[in-house]
Amino acid sequence: QCFESPHRVEKPDEAGNSRISRDGQVIGEVSFPLRPRFYERSTADGVPYSQIAVLHGRDVLATTVLQTCIRYQSRTKTCQFCAIGQSLAAGRTVAHKTPAQLAEVAKAAVELDGVKHMVMTTGTPKGDDRGAAVLTESARAIKAAVDIPIQAQCEPPEDDIWFSRMKEAGVDALGMHLEVVTPEIRARIMPGKAQVGIEKYMASFKAAVDVFGRGQVSTYILAGLGDTREAILDICEKLVAIGVYPFVVPFVPISGTPLESHPAPKPEFMHSILAPLSKLLVESGLKAVDIKAGCGKCGACSALSTYERMLTR
């Protein structure tokens, strides 16, 4: 239950069903995915599968391959919305998931729970590949064990050769996340990551689209952190023009981060962005339903894909 919301969601029953109420009146019903069966297992070396990868939505397997990041070592560099170190400190995950562990868990998630695609993100390590190397070796092991579409997510590597390497290893879609699009706001909210400028991102996007194809490269944009509607839509137009899917999501504060008290954006602000953006995406032939794997395909963090479906009925 969100303390700022007038709505209340009951604890789900054994079948995952729950009711939504407002002011004591039931106004709707919702169902939640049940605990995945693969959560009951552990790896040969005794690590619970749930510490290697988790279920997102109903059918998406998600993992953070490296649960550490060079941007997270100092509060002067860290992205102020990021909680990558919190789950590690709490013992809910492990610092580095090996390719063998990821392959084992992915295979079980597909076979036991019908998982349809997988998201692999990573903290940014030292080195110019910015995480692409560890994603490449992970994807190769997973694809050798099970046929599942994979989205990899990392900062733009310095050398574009990594896009081909990831693709050849079995990565089907790529995410490189801007999060914030106004340079001054980027420098304040994500001072370390902002050192990789928007110009580098745009050049990397073009190179990645050449490898993965139109619509198979995406970027997260967090609405509500200070970017204006106009700034977000302006960069979205540029991204769509080069074949990148801009996944615009409302910022959601996470407890324990510097932005834990920052408000989420108003529904009216999100509508003012998602309505014209969805029209642009549909007209350009870039739709969530056509993404092979990843966050844009899942769509759970944003209503963007719902807006698209309303236009294509």
- What is the reported pLDDT for 106? 98
Which structural domain range is residue 25 located in? 1-32
DSSP state of 192: T
Contact 269, 224 (CB under 8 A): yes
28/54 same-domain check: no
66/188 same-domain check: yes
151/213 same-domain check: yes
234/253 same-domain check: yes
Contact 172, 131 (CB under 8 A): no
236/122 same-domain check: yes
pTM: 0.92
43/14 same-domain check: no
- What is the reported pLDDT for 3? 58
109/243 same-domain check: yes
24/123 same-domain check: no
pLDDT digits (tens, 9 = 90+) for 16-59: 899 999 988 999 999 888 899 999 999 988 999 999 999 998 89
10/69 same-domain check: no
What's the domain count of the chain? 2
pLDDT digits (tens, 9 = 90+) for 154-208: 999 999 999 999 999 999 999 999 999 999 999 999 999 999 999 999 999 999 9
pLDDT digits (tens, 9 = 90+) for 211-270: 999 999 999 999 999 999 999 999 999 999 999 999 999 999 998 899 999 999 999 999
173/201 same-domain check: yes
Residue 100 has pLDDT above 50, yes or no: yes
122/221 same-domain check: yes
Using CA atoms, how far residue 155 sits from 120, 123, 132, in Å, is 13, 9, 8
- What is the reported pLDDT for 90? 77
155/176 same-domain check: yes
Contact 131, 122 (CB under 8 A): yes
Identify the H or E element spanning 269.
Answer: helix 267-284
- What is the reported pLDDT for 95? 85
- What is the reported pLDDT for 1? 44
Q: For residue 108, give every residue at least 6 positions away whose Cβ sits within 8 Å of its Cβ, in sequence order, or none.
A: 38, 41, 49
pLDDT digits (tens, 9 = 90+) for 296-311: 999 999 999 999 999 9
